[in-house]
Structure formats: C-alpha cells, structure tokens
Amino acid sequence: MSEEIKEKNEIKDAGITEAEKTDEAAADAAETAEISETSAPAEPAAEPDSMPAGPEVPETRLEWRDTLGLQLSDIEDYMVNAGENGGADDHADDHGDSAAPAEREVPHPAAAAVPIPVPEVTEAKKATKKGGFAKNLLSFIVGFGCCLAVLFAAARFGLLGRVLSDSDYLYYSGLDGSYGKFYEIMQMIGEDPIADKDPKDITDAELKEIVASVGDPYAEYYTAAEYEDMMKRFADDYVGIGIGVVEEDGKVVIKTIFKDTPAEEAGIQPEDVILEVDGKKPESVDDAVSMISGKAGTEVTVKIGRGDETLDFTIKRAKIETDSVSYGSLKDHPEIGYIMMSMFRQGTDKEFKDAVKALQDEGCSKFILDLRDNGGGLTNVCIEIADYLLPACKIMTENSKSGDETVYNSKADSAELELIVLVNENTASASEILTAALQDNGACKVIGTKTFGKGVIQIMHQFADGSGIKITTTEYFRPNGDPVNEVGITPDIDTGEEDALEAAIREFAQ
C-alpha cells in the first residue's frame, strides 16, 4: 500500500514540475479550455510504443501559439478533450486531476478538469467587428454634440463668460482699444477714497460741455426731457407755440408763424429774435425749441428782440398740428402751382406728392418749390422726394471719416415737372441736398440767394437713461462731386434784395 501511495505522489510531483516549466501562454490556454462549453471531445491521443498498457487517461490536444494571452475569437482553436476519468474518485487530487498508474507519464493533469459552461462569443465578436466603426462614430458625434451643448449653456448663463457675435466682438475690442484708458481713469477715480466726486455723478451740464468742446458746431447733448422734445419736432404734431426758427449770426431768429397758433394770437412776428425763454438764453436753435416745448396748457415766457425794442410774451403752450407742406395755385397765374416746404419730417414726402397731384388736378403745369428758411430735417425723407422728382441719376454721395462712401441714386421713373426752386441764406442741410441734386441733374432752375452751407449729416442717438446726443457722422457731396459744407449752393439767378417769388414768375413767363 505504501508503494502505491509513493508512486502516486511521484506522478503528482512530476506533473507539477512539468507545469512550472510551461510558459504563461500554455497555462492561459489550458484555463480557457476548462471553461469552454462548446469544445467537443477530441480523439484520444495514440499511445507511445514505449509506454506500457494501462487505463486510458484523458489527454489535452493544444495548439500552442506565440502569444501572451488568449483572444476570444481564438477560443475555437483551443479544443480540450474532456474524456472520462481514468480511475476511481479517490485517485483525483485537490485540483480535480485524474489519477494514473505509477509507471505511466501523463501531461498536466489540469486538462482533465470538468468544463464550466460559458456563453458562445464567437458570433457576437464577429458582429461587433462588422458594426463597430459606425457605432463608434455615432458615439463620438453624440458625445461631441453634448460637450458643445454644455459649453454653450455654461457660456450663455455666465458660468464661462459670454458668447459674442462678430459685430459685438469688434465693437467691444474697438471700444477697449480706443477708450479703455478713459474707462480705467474713471474706475480709479471711483475707487479714490478722498475724491469728492463719483464718475457716475457727472452732471448733464458737464456732459453738454464735453460734447460742445469737440469742435463740431452741430454736436449737442440732450437730457432725457430735451431729447423727447427734440424728437417731437420730426413728428406730425408737437406741443409748443407755433413758430419756426433758424440761426443767424449766433442768434435764434423766428422765420415762420404758423396759422391759428398761440404765437400768432400773441402777436409774434417773423424776424423777431428770441433773447430768453423763461429767463434763460438759448444757446442754439435746438436749445430754444426744447425750452419752448412743454406740456400742453402750461405757460412759457419768451423775451423777444424786435429792432430796438425788447418785448416779453407770456404764451400758453398748445398741441400744434401743422403740415410741413402748404400749397396752392397763384392767384394771377393759375397755371403755376406754389408749394412751400417748411421742414423735412416724417410724412413730408407723402404731403409733397399729394400737393403735386392736387395742383395737377387743378390744371397746374408749372411748379415753384419754396425752400426758403427750410433748415432741413430727416435725410431719408429728402432722398425720397429727390427720387420722386428725378429720373435715374445720382442724388448725392455720403462719405464718413473712415473713408466709407455711400452713393444714393434715383430710380428711372420721375414726376417730370417743370420746376423752379427758391432758396435763401437759411436754406440748409436736407434742403441743400435736394436743391443740389435737382440743379446738377438739370431738373430745375434755382432762384434766390446763396444757401447756408451745411453739408454734413447728424444722427440722433438715445442712451439707456433717455438722454441722447446729436453728432455729425458723414459729409455729403453734390452729384458733380463738389462739397456743400461751408460753401453753400449758388443759385442760377441771384435775386439779391428782390423777391425771389416775383423773379420765378417772370422766369416762367419768358
């Protein structure tokens, strides 16, 4: 009995020694063979001639590969013979090894372990290979999109800053480059512990001084109330006393008294000079208009200079509803239609076209457009009227300080009117644009005196607090390329002191 146990131990020791000499890849292959459900039993290996006969022992047929591990797709290449146990249960070791007679050498006994079922993976692996690229691409796209969405949301709600459009980026980068120093100075002043003034407390009067000091005679800063009143000038109605004013030699001069208005009832006359409004001297035409405007039913005191006299008028403000265009046929010349345009405001172009049609219906074939004392107004309205009167041609060219140029052209159709335009020294801005366009394109004859010479265009910009600024943005040039600013327009017939209307009637009679 002791001899039999000794022989068994020698066999077991021999098997262990052989396994230790086996490389890592063989051990992995044997382990995979133990858990393979799909491996079919292989045919028993042929007995060596030198080995004595004895009970059959399960053997393992392995195809070794020069690999460090076992790929799932290769499992079918490693078939294990399950076989039958070659001896009684008491001949098995702790690893489930099959016992064998002492005189017989056997391979590593681990190959005879009971197989553990596992799921079939060969076909699944092949399917994964076929659809793997598309799935990976889809996963990448989805993941990338989710990342972008998270970044955008974070930027949108301020977690990672803000997303700016190209125009906003250019605006802020230009702002920082040009005015960053001023912002830093104001910020430092605000942080100065002994400074008496906070930059936020800069007064409207100080802002007016800053804007007035830039060298642009037309630039002006408006408080919120002043800006609101200013914009009412370009509406169909406003609250005031019913006068039209211009600037002459630094003075605010009344040129027009509208009918059935408080100014007419109070006795205000053309050529009166406004010296004060409620005890304050107006610095400009816009300043005078803003001071005179107000709430309907309230009173305003206007000090007037008339020749050597100084007169005070206390006038109740009222809602003024007037047309910017008045017209009619001349009494002694019914074939001549007379149209006076006081300013260019919203709707003036429609009023002008309606006046022309009404006079044509009355039988008028010749027209006089009176732009005397018209200080201008909305440029786009002026362009619309020029387009109505002219065939296809250039109306004007507008140039900015940066060198950008905008050319305005009229369309092919036109009203084809026989026209004379009346001007004087107070014809300015938009009135000069229209006059120059008609004169250079041969659409009218200009009669009167040399115009004011305001060949620049301003914009009105309102700030968040309701205040605003009027400032020059571009200079315009006549269709022939000549400037108008500080030059004016010379009439075809200079009437001097003579009445331009009488000169126009004579011109039509020739």
Catalytically annotated residues: 429, 440, 454
How far are the Cα atoms of 34, 109, 459 from residue 42, in angstroms, in the given order?
14, 16, 98
Our measurement of the distance from residue 168's CA atom to the centroid of its chain's CA atoms, rounded to an integer in Å, reads: 6
DSSP reduced 3-state for 209: helix
446: Cβ contacts below 8 Å, ≥ 6 apart: 420, 421, 423, 435, 438, 439, 489, 491, 492, 493
**DSSP string of 264-300?**
HHHT--TT-EEEEETTB--SSHHHHHHHH---TT-EE
Three-state secondary structure string covering 388-414: HHCCCCEEEEEEECCCCEEEEECCCCC
Q: Which uninterrupted H or E stretch holds 17?
A: helix 2-21
| Surface-to-core class of residue 221, CB atoms within 10 Å of its CB (0-12 exposed, 13-18 middle, 19+ buried) | buried
| Surface-to-core class of residue 81, CB atoms within 10 Å of its CB (0-12 exposed, 13-18 middle, 19+ buried) | buried
Residues 316 and 329: beta-carbon distance below 8 Å: no
CA angle 198–201–207, rounded 5-degree value:
120
Both structure tokens of 214: 């830039």
DSSP reduced 3-state for 305: strand
| CA pair distance 440, 14, nearest whole angstrom | 120
Among the residues of 64-217, which ranges form H helices? Answer: 122-156, 166-191, 204-212
Give the CA-trace dihedral at 171, 226, 276, 257, to 10 degrees.
Answer: 110
Residues 392 and 445: beta-carbon distance below 8 Å: no
440: Cβ contacts below 8 Å, ≥ 6 apart: 478, 479, 480
Across-strand partners of 458? 472
Our measurement of the distance from residue 279's CA atom to the centroid of its chain's CA atoms, rounded to an integer in Å, reads: 46
Our measurement of the distance from residue 17's CA atom to the centroid of its chain's CA atoms, rounded to an integer in Å, reads: 82
| CA pair distance 277, 280, nearest whole angstrom | 5
